[in-house]
Each structure stands twice: as C-alpha cells, then as structure tokens.
Structure 1
Amino acid sequence: MDNNIHEDCGVAMIRLLKPLSYYQQKYGTWMYGLNKLYLMMEKQHNRGQEGAGLASVKLHTQPGHEYMFRERAEGSSAITEIMGSARKQIEEARRFCGDSTDFDYQEMPFAGELYMGHLRYSTTGKSGLKYVHPFLRRNNWKAKNLCLCGNYNMTNVEDIFQKLIKQGQCPRIYSDSYIMMEAMGHRLDREVERNFVEAQQKGLENDAITEYIDQHVLMENVLKTTMADFDGGYVVCGLTGSGEMFSMRDPWGIRPAFYYKNDEIVILASERPVLQTTFDLEYEDIQELQPGCALLVRSNGEAVVKRILEQRGDYACSFERIYFSRGSDQDIYNERKKLGEQLTPQVLKTIDNDIAHTVFSFIPNTAEVAFYGLLRGFKHYVNEQKIKRIEALGRIPTHAELEDILHDYVRSEKVAWKDIKLRTFITEGNARNDLAAHVYDVAYGSIQPGVDNLVIIDDSIVRGTTLKESILHILDRLHPKKIVMVSSAPQIRYPDYYGIDMPRLEEFCVFQATVALLKDKGMEHVITDTYEACKAELEKPVGEMRNCVRDVYEPFTVEEINCKIVEMLRPEGMTTPIEIVFQSIDGLHSAIPNHKGDWYFTGHFPTPGGTRLCNQAFVNYVERVWK
C-alpha cells in the first residue's frame, strides 16, 4: 500500500479491580496497569505515529489531591515520551513518599485504577498537540470530569455543531473530537443533575449527595443521549473523575474493539492480538464489542455490556483485515492468505500458465501473508498438474520420468527490499523524485533476464505513486520478461470518511484512469452529467441521497481500467510489459465473509453521511480540477 495512506487510530484501556497493593504483591510492582498500558500501546504503534496520549484516574482520593492525570505528545516517538514523562513524575514523587507497598497513594501520580491510551493518525489534516487524544474536560465535581479518546471519524460534524449552538453552547474548536466532548459533557452534566435531584429527594445533604452521585452515574444514559445523532465509524472511549470507564462501538460496526475481563482486570483494545500477547490470553478468551454496544465499568468495578443504539448495519471495515490490523490475529492471517490464494487463476492467465519461468515475490511487508497464500495456490496447482502427468502415463513411471515431473516447483524470491526512507529536507522536485526512486532496491540475479516473468503482490494499490516513482523502475533493472503487479484488494474507487485518510477522489489511480478513458473516448459528458447529478442529490435530505459517483465507472470493465492504469503508471522509458491484477469483489467477500464493509471498492456507503460526502467530493473535484 502507498506509504502515505494513514491507518486508523488505536485505543487501549485497563481497569484494575484490586487494590494496587495486590498487584505489588503478585506482580512485583504497583505500576502493573501503567506497564501493561505501555505494552498495549506499543503493540498498536502501527495504528498511529503522529501522536499518542494516556490518561489515568485515581479512586478514593481526598479533596486537595489530584485524581486525573494526562500526558500527550506528538511524533513517532510519542509513546516513549509520554511514558517517560509519567515515570519521571513518579520518580520525583518517590523522593518524598519512598518506594514501598505502603507508598503515599494520595500523592503518587499515575497511581490509578483506570488507564486509557490512544495512538493517533490524523484523518482531517489538522495537526498540533491540541488535537492529540485524550481530551480532558475539568470540573470541581468529580463526576463531571470527562476524559475522551477514540478511533473515529464523523461525517456530520456540522449538524452536531449546530445542535450544540441551539442548546446555547459555544464550542471553541470545530472538530469532531471537541464537538463530541462538548456534546457528551453536556449530557454528563444532566446525568449528574438527575442524581443530584434523586439524592435530595432521599434526604441527603452536602458531601453525602456527592457520594451518591459518584456511585450512581449511569454512562449508558449519557451515551444514549449523545451518540444517537452521530454519523460515522467509531470506537469512543472515556473515563470520568468519579471512576466510570466506557467504550462504545458505532451501530454499523465499522470500527473494531475487543475486550476481556476477569476478577483482576477489565481491558479493551482495537485489536485482539494486542490483548492476547500482552496478557497471555487465548483467542477464545476475548470478546468482540458488538455494533451499537458499550462496555461499561462502574466506579465500583462492575463490568457490563449494554446496548446503547440498535444495530443499523453490518459493515465491519474490510480494510482492517486487508491492511490495518496486525496479521498476527489468527482470523486475519487466514483471511489474508485466502486473499492471495484465490488470485491464482487470474495470475496464471497473465503468465500463460508458464510457472517454470515465473518468480513470485511481494512488496514488503504488509503483503507478506497474502504472498504465502498466492504461493499456496500455485503449489496446489503445480501438484495437480504433476498428478495429471503421472496418471496420463498409464503405468508406473520410471525414475527419470518421476524426477522430471517432480522437478516442477513454484519459484519464490525476496526480490524487493525497502532500502531508505525519503528525507523531507530534500524539497526540490527533481532531487526528491530521484530519491523516491531509490526507496526500494532489488535482489540482483534473482531472476533470469528476458526469460522469467516476475509476479509481485501488494496488499492494495491506492494512488500508485510508489509504483510509478520507485517500484516499477527498480524492478525493471532485473529485466524480466514481464512484470505482473497483483493487488490482494479490489480496485479502490471511492473515498473513505470513517477513519482512513483517503478523502479525495483525484488521488486514486483507478479514478484517474477512468477519467482518462472518458477523455480518450470523447465521453467527457459523463463527468458533467455526474457533476450535475451529484449537485442535485446534495439538495435532497441526506437519508434520500444515492451515490452518483458510481456512474463514472459504469462504461468500463475492470480490465479496461487496469490497462489504462498500467499506461499511466509506466515510468518513462520502460518497455517491459506490465499487467495489473486486482482482487474481485466476490473474492474479497469470499475471503473475508464477516467484514462486509466495502464502500471504498463498491461505493455502497454504510451511512447517509458517507454518501453525502462522496457526492460532495465529486463536486469538489470537478470545481477544483476538471474545470
């Protein structure tokens, strides 16, 4: 996949159910929760390298002592930075408290029972520390303090923004995170006030009222009144100052979350293997949070799963399985292998069944598992051909005949090597392009020039920039008879608005090729007709819109678009024949049957907001690029 496609964000949560002295005695440190949070975040580092943050809540504190802690930092080393800052504060406190099991709980920073971590990738283009999660809303009432983070992108921020304004609020920043914080904070205030009235009706006074509120806040009430209007893919996580912990998944099931609980801990992360490895758990131990549901841990440690919103669809993100999530998940590993294996017939066609003169490889490193699947498919094919040759003899083969038949095998090499990273201090166009061409290097001598085909599999082809500027150019140095580029994912045709940084149509090589074909065939009217159709759809209520951008692709087959992509991506001066093979939509669903979210391939967006934004993206393209 192109290196400049950003992943979703990642979340991690831990609720300790025992006193810190328990973990000190059993695991040798009261920092058990903090240490485990660090591991969970590092194991999800792939999900966010622009920033990271952590938050902790301490229960049973006395007035005048801090009970909510937060650290945030930007950059690829942000996890190390925030954990280093937390440990530095702990070390400074130890000078006064001493390092023992009976340390001064009130004074020790990050000595909490609740921990939450976040890995950030920006999908909005906004940067700066103020956009790094978690976000914190302060108040002198413990129960009104709210810390929020998540893996999400909302498509109807403007609608929620206007709703807050009508309520009399004045949000100070226009972003989905801050607007969600203000919306949820407002509902949390109402929930606290509900309990305040109840406490008064029971005859309670003063701090007894506060204690009642802290013990009776129901975050499901807050979530039900906050999240019903949001359109998007999300896993929203939060802590309150009174000790409530929660995580909610969107009702379409777009973004993933997994959890586990026992008598010591309640934990949650964006990926299953993170929990398995960090806590030495079995696959079957871990549960997936279902669409529209929330994992709630009360201030007393009671953990429950509540349905917040009725499920509105079954659109779990297939890109999570193809690329974003760790391949160490047993289901994802098998799915990626199948994605590669079932491309065998298509690839066979491109090489005219000449396996003896074909070398298979992959683009490091996310396509490696799909590569193993492709090899498995070809090994099965070769074995079947061997059986047929033996059966065709009609007799017991001689040693020489067996040797000749069994000599056939599938050849694989690590042809492409990631060599260097592009250094941004080189900004001049020609110099930068020359450097980009050397991001990859090849294993010279790995194929026979002019004789061997070279089949290279990647997990997906999005913009095609890396192919044109580096990969095809460097592979051509081996002088193969033919290069076949294989994508384990289908053609990416549409933007994403649920957490992946793919918002503009003109960035996709498939869209560019389709537009070029329309020009070649004198069919520019399709662009203008679609433009007018998109504008008309945008005048309708959002729930009644259809995705008119799909009309652009109707005149052409996948194969026609593939040929145009090759023409556009072929480096200047390169004469080696090139073919591109994409996964089919049917193949995608066959390999990944339980994750039906395919809007970036099909244009079938799971939410009305996604359809609206796709139509708007086409209008923006025409007005910005086409005209």
Structure 2
Amino acid sequence: MSDAIKHECGIALLRLKKPLEYYLEKYGTAFYGINKLYLLMEKQHNRGQDGAGVANIKFDMDPGERYISRRRSIDSKPIQDIFSSINARFQEIEDENPELLKDVNYLKKNAGFTGELFLGHLRYGTFGRNSIESCHPFLRQNNWITRNLVVAGNFNLTNVHELFDVLLGIGQHPKEVSDTVTVLEKIGHFLDVENEDMFKSLKAQGYSNQEVYSKIAQSLDIPKILKKASEDWDGGYAMSGLFGHGDAFVLRDPSGIRPAFWYEDDEVCVVASERPVIQTAFNLKKEDIKELTPGHALIIKKAGEVSEVEINAPHERKACSFERIYFSRGNDYDIYRERKMLGDLVVPQVIDSIGGDLDNSVFSFIPNTAEMSFYGMIKGLEDHMNNEKFEAIKALGKDYNEDDLEKILKRRARIEKIAIKDAKLRTFITQDDARDDMVAHVYDITYGTVVRGKDNLVVIDDSIVRGTTLKQSIFRILDRLEPKKIVVVSSAPQIRYPDCYGIDMARMKDFIAFEAAIALLKENSMGHIITEVYQKCKEQESIPKEHVKNYVKEIYEPFTDTQISQKISELLKPVNIKAEVEVIYQSVENLHKACPNNLGDWYFTGNYPTPGGNKVVNKAFINYVEGSDARAY
C-alpha cells in the first residue's frame, strides 16, 4: 500500500506445559519460553510498531513472592527494547555466577519472566495518543491471586460509550473512556463476581480460606465470565487474557473479523494472530495449526487442559479481507495464493486499458508489498499471451517461416523494477509547495526501462486508499520516464467506507473514492443527495445501533464503478505531467473469488458485520459534512 495506513495489532500467547527443568534439559536453556515469545513477536512486527508489551505468570509461587512480570515500551524499536531490558537482568545473574542460569528455583525467585505463561502484544495506535499507558498488556491487580487479570488484544469496539455506561451502572469508576479499559474492567467485574460467588458457596460447605482459594483456582468458570463480559460487545476482536493463578484464554469475535490461530502439543500451547508465525517458531506444517473458531474461546487451564468453548453464537463469517490483501504476512500458504489470484483476476481490465498492446507495455509494482499480486498479474498476462501465440502459430499454416515462428515464441510480458523507495529520505521543509517537491522524490526510478512516448507503463499496488502518495510522488516520478500512458492497478476494490474494527481508516474525507463520488454528484447537479443523506444520518443518531441503516451507500448509487474510477484518475493526476493517467480497481466479485473464506468486505461495500458499523459510517459522514475531525466511534 503506497499510502501509509496504521492497522490492527498482534498477539502472542505461550503456555509451557512442562516444568522449566524439562526445557533446560531438552533445549539447554531455562529461557525457552521467553526466547520463543521473542520470536513470535518479532515475526509479527508488521502488525504494530507504535509500541509493544509482554507479561509473564509464574506458577506456584509462595505468598510474598512476585509472580507477575510486565514490561512495555514505546521506543522506536519496542520489541528489541523490551527484550534487551529483560535480558539485561539475566546478564547480571550470569556475571554474578553463570551456574545460576541453570538453577530454575533461583531464577523463579529472583528474575522476572521466568514463569510458565507468557503474553505478548504489538500495538498500532489507530487513534489518539501513543503513550506507555496505551500499550498492552493491561494489568488489573488484586491481593487475591485468582482476581489478578492481564489483558491484551487485537480489537476495536464500536459501542465503547454504551459499555462505559454499563460499568457506571454497576458502580465502577473507570479511569478513562476507552475500549481497552472498558474490556479490562468488564472482564474484571465478572471475575470478581465469580470469585465472590464461589467463595460464599465453598465457605458454606465448611472449607477453610486456604482450601477455598485452592478450589477457586482449580475450578474458576472462565467461559461463564467471558459470556457475561462480552455479551454486549460490538466489534472485531481477538482478546487474550491471563489470570494470576495460571489460567488463560483467547476469545474471538462471533463474525471472525480479527484473526487468531493456535497449536498444542505435550510441551506447549501457543496462540498468535498469524499462522506462519507459529509455523516458523515451532517448525510446523500448516495443517498442524488450527484457526480459533469465531465466537469461541480457547481456554487453557493451569492444570494443562486446553479446550475450545463457544462463548457467543457464531454469526455469518466475515473475516477481514484486508488481512488477505495487505496486512497479514505474505508467507502464509493461503494468503500468498490469494494475493497472486488478485493480480491474475485484474488482467482483463489491464489489457483493455492498454488497448491490448502488450508488446509496447512495461509492467512493475509499487510498493514492495504488492510483489505477490504482481506475480499473479504477470501469470495472467502470460496466459493471455500464450493464447495469442497459439492462435498466431495456427495462422502461420504448414508452410511457416522459422523467423516468424521464433518471433512469436519470443514474445514475453516486459517486466522491470521501475521504482525504488528511498526509505531514509526525510523532508525538513514546511512550506507546502517546496515540501511537495521533496515528497515527489521519496521514490526513485530505474532509467532506460521505458521507450519514451511509445510504451505504456503499468504498475500494480495492493490498494489505493487516499491516493496522496500517488498524486504527490509516484505519478510524478513515473512521468520522468516519459511513457505514453501510466496505468496504476489496485489489487483491492475501491475503498469507500471507514473501518471501525481496528484499522486506521475512520474519516470519509480520507477516501479518494468518496471524494470522487462527491465530485461527481456536484458536477451532475445532484448535490441534493449529499444533504438528504446527511439528514437521514442525523435522524438516526439517537436510535439503537441495531436499527440503524447505512445511508452513505446512497452517495455512490448514481454511478458505476467505472465512472468513479475515471473521476479518481482525474483527481489524482498531477498538473504538468505529460502521460495519460488511468487508475484501475479490482471488482468486489473478483475479491470474493480470490478470498472465498474471508468475505468481510465492508470497506468496499458498506456491508458491516455488526450493527455498530452502520452507526459508525453514518457518524463519519455527519462529521464530514459538519467539518469535524472527531472520532466516529
């Protein structure tokens, strides 16, 4: 994606199922758990670079001994910062006496992060401040070991204000209005209730206090707690949590919007946001790893039992398609193939755009993350050219000329590395005109790859959201090669609607497709539709989210996808460039063909998987009309 978009978060949960001595003997280190957590997080660094955090629970510690460790960072390299700090303590121990690093009992009593249960989190801040207090995991402390709660997740809830009011109604006094704090306190409240109910019941049966605490730890009803806490959540989430006594869980939303994968053997149980991360960390095959069922929680008991339990009835599966297009790691078995197919499926539009002139067209990709869809596009072009070659050879007849045959067989799609990003280029200029000139040099080009005035230049991108980088930089630098026509291909459909489930796309004015639709309405004397949609959205502001309709769809209804794409091309073409410019988008139908099991397409269609989505999109439109940059949820 040439536009910088912050997105999602990443989680990594690891439970060691054997005593630490086992890993010391088998793998030669008592730090097997922390080393694996580092690998799980580093391999997911694409999911969050604003901050990171880790937490650890030690089992069976004596009263008065520390059993929860947590460290967070908003350093420019937060993962390295956290683990360097943790390892510094181990280095101190080694300097004191290297043999102590093999003394498990000593380590558990004297060093943090030497327990059996680990939770890691990577953060992208989609809204608001980026402070250490905003970093997961969040910790809710209590002197009762079974009431201690650590929470981290990849999530966003649309109804946080409603949930905040619920907390006030049960007598709590949350420190801020945020979905993270709200989730923590909601789970924490029902954790307290469950502890109190069990305490009263067990005491009535004549058990001593110590016996009561032990039995609560053994039989805490985590599914019951999660059901009560999450029954009114509206959003996408993969929520992970640790309890002070050693139980753990990962809970996924009923529509499967946010991803979660898990693996278990007799040594470990591990959960991560990305499947290939687990494969790499533990050298596994893809079929070894399970996807957490939507609406279910993976419950990991302190005794070692692992089970998937339904918490909320699953809805129609609407797993995020943007995961497939761009956000997830491309080395996943399915995602790699899906991205290639996205490139393949857009080929007919590309051929039409260049008038079928493949011999005088050069193909490339921007940025590097579009490389997989580029491979798919080239495959599609080669298939098309092979069909043309076949027909041309047939046309030669039996008395063919070998030179003509050789010319046909040598036809290939012309592939070049056109653009190189100068990642370290920064601009210190603040004046707009001069700064735009500097921004235009963020990418550099490979000279001599295009025949001036004759070749078409086709580049594929993952997706085009705002189009800012295209207008300010990419079109300008490509025009230096003096192609006849520049075609930019998006492997994703037109992004028309805001996300409200964890991706930084919340304002209508940030979507070039929306800007194009508004421009078309005004040009065609249909500006009244803008006013009518605004009035309909305002009328729904005070009604329950379950009854809200997405009226913003009416902004796009008068126009075809092609008309909007043409207007986008006009809006993004910089002044004073010579080449003709065209922007092509994937169709929603082809997206579904490429990603048949991940049909969450609300970015493109406005079909939100939860009622809160409709409320958010209407509010985002109201904010646009009123000129407000306030958050829509």
Query: Aligned letter for 1:244?
Result: D
1:51 maps to what in 2?
51
Among 548, 551, 556, which residue is 2:554 paired with? 551
- Residue 361 of structure 1 pairs with residue 364 of structure 2: yes
2:467 maps to what in 1?
464
Question: 2-side partners of 1:427 and 1:223: how far apart?
Answer: 50
Among 389, 410, 414, which residue is 1:386 paired with? 389
Tell me the TM-score normalized by structure 1: 0.98
- Residue 413 of structure 1 pairs with residue 416 of structure 2: yes
1:618 maps to what in 2?
621
1:341 maps to what in 2?
344
Query: Which runs of 5 or more residues in structure 2 are unaligned?
Result: none
Alignment check: 8 A CA contact 2:30 2:104 kept: no
Among 115, 129, 140, which residue is 2:143 paired with? 140
Alignment check: 8 A CA contact 2:30 2:101 kept: no
2:37 maps to what in 1?
37
SS of match in other structure, 1:372: helix
- Residue 24 of structure 1 pairs with residue 40 of structure 2: no
Query: Which segments of structure 1 move beyond 4 Å, counting only runs of 4 or more?
Result: none
Alignment check: 8 A CA contact 2:174 2:181 kept: yes
Q: Deviations over 1:210-233 (max 9, x none)?
A: 111111112111101101110000
SS of match in other structure, 1:373: helix
- Residue 529 of structure 1 pairs with residue 532 of structure 2: yes
Q: Deviations over 1:590-615 (max 9, x none)?
A: 11100000001000111110100100
Matches within 5 A, 1:305-454: 305-395=308-398, 397-421=400-424, 423=426, 425-454=428-457
SS of match in other structure, 2:502: coil
Question: 1-side partners of 2:443 and 2:203: how far apart?
Answer: 70
Query: Aligned letter for 1:98?
Result: L
Alignment check: 8 A CA contact 1:24 1:101 kept: no
Following superposition, the deviation at residue 399 of structure 1 comes to 2.0
1:490 maps to what in 2?
493
- Residue 284 of structure 1 pairs with residue 262 of structure 2: no
Query: Which runs of 5 or more residues in structure 1 are unaligned?
Result: none
Among 255, 259, 263, which residue is 1:260 paired with? 263
SS of match in other structure, 1:60: coil
Tell me the TM-score normalized by structure 2: 0.97
Following superposition, the deviation at residue 423 of structure 1 comes to 3.0
Alignment check: 8 A CA contact 1:143 1:242 kept: yes
Alignment check: 8 A CA contact 1:472 1:571 kept: yes
Among 191, 196, 203, which residue is 1:200 paired with? 203
Alignment check: 8 A CA contact 2:493 2:586 kept: yes
Query: Aligned letter for 2:211?
Result: A
1:68 maps to what in 2?
68
1:100 maps to what in 2?
102
Question: 1-side partners of 2:397 and 2:204: how far apart?
Answer: 94
Question: 2-side partners of 1:218 and 1:421: how far apart?
Answer: 52
Alignment check: 8 A CA contact 2:363 2:459 kept: yes
Question: 1-side partners of 2:31 and 2:101: how far apart?
Answer: 12
Alignment check: 8 A CA contact 2:534 2:622 kept: yes
2:503 maps to what in 1?
500
Q: Deviations over 1:493-528 (max 9, x none)?
A: 000000000000011111111111111122110100
Matches within 5 A, 1:176-195: 176-195=179-198
Following superposition, the deviation at residue 102 of structure 1 comes to 4.4
Query: Aligned letter for 2:39?
Result: L
Q: Deviations over 1:468-498 (max 9, x none)?
A: 1100000000000100000000000000000
SS of match in other structure, 1:62: coil
Alignment check: 8 A CA contact 1:90 1:110 kept: no
Structure 1 pair 625/250, CA: closer, same or farther in 2 (3 Å)?
Answer: closer
- Residue 15 of structure 1 pairs with residue 18 of structure 2: no
1:513 maps to what in 2?
516
Following superposition, the deviation at residue 435 of structure 1 comes to 2.1
Following superposition, the deviation at residue 425 of structure 1 comes to 4.8
Q: Deviations over 1:125-156 (max 9, x none)?
A: 23211010000011111110000000000000
1:219 maps to what in 2?
222
Query: Aligned letter for 2:370?
Result: A
Alignment check: 8 A CA contact 1:2 1:463 kept: no
Alignment check: 8 A CA contact 1:65 1:107 kept: no
Q: Which segment drifts farther, 591-600 or 570-579? A: 570-579
SS of match in other structure, 1:601: helix
Query: Aligned letter for 1:189?
Result: D
RMSD between superposed Cα atoms in Å: 1.4
Q: Deviations over 1:364-412 (max 9, x none)?
A: 2111000000000000011111111112233263422221211211110
Following superposition, the deviation at residue 301 of structure 1 comes to 1.2
Question: 2-side partners of 1:549 and 1:138: how far apart?
Answer: 44
SS of match in other structure, 1:355: coil
Aligned residues: 626
Following superposition, the deviation at residue 202 of structure 1 comes to 3.4
Alignment check: 8 A CA contact 2:226 2:311 kept: yes
Alignment check: 8 A CA contact 2:472 2:574 kept: yes
Following superposition, the deviation at residue 101 of structure 1 comes to 3.9
SS of match in other structure, 2:368: coil
Question: 1-side partners of 2:53 and 2:428: how far apart?
Answer: 28
Alignment check: 8 A CA contact 1:490 1:582 kept: yes
Query: Aligned letter for 2:115?
Result: G
Structure 1 pair 396/283, CA: closer, same or farther in 2 (3 Å)?
Answer: farther
